[in-house]
Structure 1
Amino acid sequence: MKRFICLLLLLTLITQSFNKLGLILAFKVNQEYITASFCENKDKPEMNCNGRCFLAKKIKQAEQNEEKHRVENLEKTNILFFCRMNKLEVNESVSENGPLTFNPFYLKFKPSLFANDIFKPPQKLSA
């Protein structure tokens, strides 16, 4: 069942990507019918149109639909988010709570500079 769903999703992605190719293939398969039924230049056989005018219209229509969907998707994705910033106001004085006390460890703490140490990888023990 999972394979079927994966293949179905893959097929839908492929059909969206190759829309023009599908139109051209459908035209080639049904070219005689399209030439006889939909061709605008049936009365001008010297043009050798053979239904290509209909194909050009369909491809242009597909491009317009694709552009319309692209613009709609762009409008949906360009969402702005505005947030109101609140300011934090402290009304009480820090000195009202009493003197601040610090841990003496932090007052005497002096960080070492490990950047000056040279890294020496461990030596391979030969046994």
Structure 2
Amino acid sequence: MRRFVCLLLLLMIMLQTFNRSVIGVAFKVNQDYIAANFCENKDKPEMHCNGRCVLVKKLKQAEQNEEKQRTENLAKTALLYFCKIHRLAVNEPLSDLKTIGFNPFYLNFKPSFFANDIFKPPQRIAC
């Protein structure tokens, strides 16, 4: 099931990325039908259009849709977020904080040196 969903999402991304190619392949597959039914220049055989006018229209429409989506995405991401930063108000000087009674152990604490040793995994004993 997970593999199917992944493949479906991958296919959707690929179709969106290569939509002009998909339109071109669909045109080539159905070119005779498009030329016979949808071509604007079928009464002018000397132009040898063969339905390319429909292909150009579809490609322009796809480009306009893509540009519209691009501008909508830019408009959505161009929002600025402002947040109020609360500053910490210190009424007493920081030098007076040492006299409050911190434990001197924490001020002079030094970490152990065991963390600096190179880890060597145990050797496997052959049976």
TM exceeding 0.5: yes
1:70 and 2:70 aligned: yes
Report the equivalent of 1:38: 38
Q: Which runs of 5+ in 2 are unaligned?
A: 105-127
- TM-superposition CA deviations, 1:48-84 (whole Å, max 9, x none): 0000000000000000001101111111122211123
Matched, 1:24 2:21: no
Task: State which drifts further: 84-93 or 12-21.
Answer: 84-93
Give the drift of 1:85: 3.8
- Code of the aligned partner of 1:69: Q
Letter in 2 for 1:18: F
> Residue 24 of structure 2 aligns to which amino acid in structure 1?
I
SS at match of 1:61: helix
Bigger Rg, structure 1 or 2 = 1
Question: Which position in structure 1 is the counterpart of 2:56?
Answer: 56
CA distance in 2, matches of 1:33, 1:48: 15
Q: How many Å separate the matches in 2 of 1:3 and 1:100?
A: 62
**Deviation string for 1:94-119 (max 9, x for gaps)?**
8x99x778999xxxxxxxxxxxxxxx
TM-score by length of 1: 0.68
Identical pairs, percent: 63
Q: Post-superposition shift, 1:25?
A: 0.8
Q: Counterparts in 2 of 1:1-127, with a 5 A limit?
A: 1-90=1-90
Query: Structure 1 regions of 5+ residues with no counterpart?
Result: 105-127
- Give TM-score, length-normalised by structure 2: 0.68
RMSD of aligned Cα (Å): 3.2
CA 1:10–1:89: 2 relative to 1, 3 Å: closer
Gap change, CA 1:101 and 1:58, over 3 Å in 2 = same
May I ask how many residue pairs the two structures share in their alignment? 108
Q: Give 1:87 deviation, angstroms.
A: 4.9
